[in-house]
Amino acid sequence: MSSTPLALFVGLPNPTLSDDEFALFRETNPLGLFVGRRNLRNPEQAKILIDRFREAVGRDDAPVFTDQEGGRVQHMDAGPWPLFRSFGQFAELARRDLDLGKKAMRLSTQAMGAMMSELGLSSGCSPVLDLVFETTSAVIGARSFGPDPDFIAALGREVVDGLLETGNMPVMKHIPGHGRATLDSHKERPVVDASRETLTATDFKPFVALKDTPWAMVAHVVYSAYDAELPASISPIMHDVIRNDMGYDGVLISDCIFMESLQGTLPERVAQVLDAGFDIALHSHGDVKESEAAAKAARPLTEAAQKRIAAGKARLGTLKIDYRAAHAEVESMFASALVS
């Protein structure tokens, strides 16, 4: 096993790590693990799974991510864990009372971050900073704070800082913006035809405002004003736009390579992400054979990526809170404001 991890997150089909998976991860040393609701049944089981992955790769701090935004995208949605509200609901509260909305968003984020950190989860891949319009694909919907980039940035800041405080890594998504896509990139290849001027003034703006966020997830969306052929996640041109025009210097991880906006075999998709210059390819599920194929196509993290990862980890706080009590307090805020 190389001492430098592969620039790859792997996934699992089950709530336990098989012997074959353990051996594969020990041999190949992928950077991290991505878990979903299929892998998360209860706290005890989740901790065992996370610890076993870290044992396999030989790194106690190996990142283990999930999708835990709130609303319909929260993979910790089994009985043992409280259900969190969507960003759209916090936006509604904030439009009535901005200070209250920001306070509720911060406290809810701290509760969610503490809940994840207690299990050993490194990140819930949040916040979503995409704009939403009447034409936006339903894949975004209430996951967004709305159509106003400044408003999105204000509430997004509460999420970024709340997660950092509780030692949970924020990952802003889907840079440089999924909001103008009318198709679901899980199923098709969306093309956004807005001009560079429009994108800079709108979709890109929240990401630029929060460019100090340590990690960002790259959209599988074509922005034809820059690259008429390739989605951002595999486009060297869009890599340069994000790094140079938008000024983002954090860790860049692709959205899941299983999504059908990409083309080719899984190994080819891994190579496309890394060839474009992005730091990490996300292989968020799949069986042991698929993980093996992805690992063979990956390569060790670059020195630059390792430095970005270390810089992000150095910003993680240690705030401990009673996440159930904090969640209940957020619910009381909504009740007092009469927002459903």
From 42, 78, 40, 83, select the one nearest 324 (Cα to Cα): 83
- C-alpha to C-alpha distance for 283 and 269, rounded to whole angstroms: 10
Known catalytic membership, residue 220: no
User: Helix 149-165 crosses helix 98-119 at what angle (to 10 degrees)?
Assistant: 40
Known catalytic membership, residue 255: yes
SS (H, E, C) the chain: CCCCCEEEEEECCCCCCCHHHHHHHHHHCEEEEECCCCCCCCHHHHHHHHHHHHHHHCCCCCCEECCEEECCEECCCCCCCCCCCCHHHHHHHHHHCHHHHHHHHHHHHHHHHHHHHHHCCCECCCCECCCCCCCCCCCCHHHCCCCCHHHHHHHHHHHHHHHHHCCCCCEEEEECCCCCCCCCCCCCCCEECCCHHHHHHCCCHHHHHCCCCCEEEECCCEECCCCCCCCHHHCHHHHHHHHHHCCCCCEEEEEECCCCCCCCCHHHHHHHHHHCCCCEEECCCCCHHHHHHHHHHCCECCHHHHHHHHHHHCCCCCCCCCHHHHHHHHHHHHHHHCCC
And the tokens for 306?
A: 């390792």
Determine which one of 51, 161, 186, 249 is catalytic. 186
For residue 156, with 0-12 CB atoms within 10 Å meaning exposed, 13-18 middle and 19 or more buried, which class applies?
Answer: buried
From 65, 56, 62, 113, select the one nearest 285 (Cα to Cα): 65
Determine which one of 203, 227, 255, 279 is catalytic. 255
Q: Active-site positions?
A: 186, 255
